[in-house]
Amino acid sequence: MLSRETNEIKSPEFLKLNPRGQIPVLVEDGKVLREGAAQMIYLCDKHKSPLLPQSGWERAQALQWLMFANASLHPAYARATFVNRNLPDGEIKDKALAEARAVAQGMWDEVEAHLAAGGPYMCGDSVTLADIVLTVIANWNTTNYTFGPKCKALFKAVTARPAYQKALAAEQVEYKAAA
């Protein structure tokens, strides 16, 4: 497994796979996929996984929430992280960090409202990729965000899945967002 901490993703061998030096990267039969959401969709389609409906409105909804997690919520977290790491301490940093975190919190509030209207999962009664990605993101910085009861129930349901437990153990991650 490659690591950001050991800078393996900047090695010449890795940069041949992904010139941006970013993970994840999926290599199959000499072909490379560099974007996480594309990888997830490809693998679900390949294995006909129930985590992504095969067609119709159900698939569109699952893709919508996957893209929300990947292209809206994830960048919102990235903005807050960038501000926190790169601005000097002081009033400007505090204001910029509060604004960045407020954007991400608003997205969690949207997830909570959506789940309250039709959960227990983002697409109703069945877990999808979107639920898994949201559960992963929620654990990135639990002290700066407030998760409502529906979000916490979602996180508990997803983290209770045997495959998720196996991944947490393999990555040596303690899951805190559901607490």
Query: Are 73 and 26 within one domain?
Result: no
Query: Are 147 and 100 within one domain?
Result: yes
Query: Are 42 and 60 within one domain?
Result: no
Residue 66 lies in a domain: yes
Q: Given this model, what pLDDT does residue 10 score?
A: 85
Q: Given this model, what pLDDT does residue 179 score?
A: 86
Query: Are 68 and 22 within one domain?
Result: no
Residue 95 lies in a domain: yes
Query: Are 69 and 35 within one domain?
Result: no
Query: Are 125 and 156 within one domain?
Result: yes
Residue 144 corresponds to which amino acid?
N
- Closest by CA to 58, choosing from 117, 115, 122, 111, is 122
Query: Are 95 and 146 within one domain?
Result: yes
**Residue 3 structure tokens:** 């690591």
Q: Given this model, what pLDDT does residue 6 score?
A: 61
- CATH number of the domain that 21 lies in? 3.40.30.10
Query: Are 102 and 139 within one domain?
Result: yes
Query: Are 132 and 111 within one domain?
Result: yes
The range of the structural domain enclosing residue 83 comes to 56-171
Residue 150 lies in a domain: yes
Query: Are 69 and 110 within one domain?
Result: yes
- Closest by CA to 138, choosing from 91, 67, 77, 95, is 77
Q: Given this model, what pLDDT does residue 22 score?
A: 87
Total tally of structural domains belonging to the chain: 2
Query: Are 39 and 107 within one domain?
Result: no
Residue 178 lies in a domain: no
Q: Given this model, what pLDDT does residue 119 score?
A: 84
- CATH number of the domain that 166 lies in? 1.20.1050.10
Residue 27, SS3? strand
Query: Are 40 and 102 within one domain?
Result: no
Measure Cα distances from 67 to 64, 99, 129 in Å: 5, 22, 10
pLDDT in tens, the chain (179 residues): 555 566 788 888 888 899 888 889 999 999 999 999 999 999 999 999 999 999 999 999 999 999 999 999 999 999 999 999 999 999 999 999 999 999 999 999 999 999 999 989 999 999 999 999 999 999 998 889 999 999 999 999 999 999 999 999 999 999 999 88
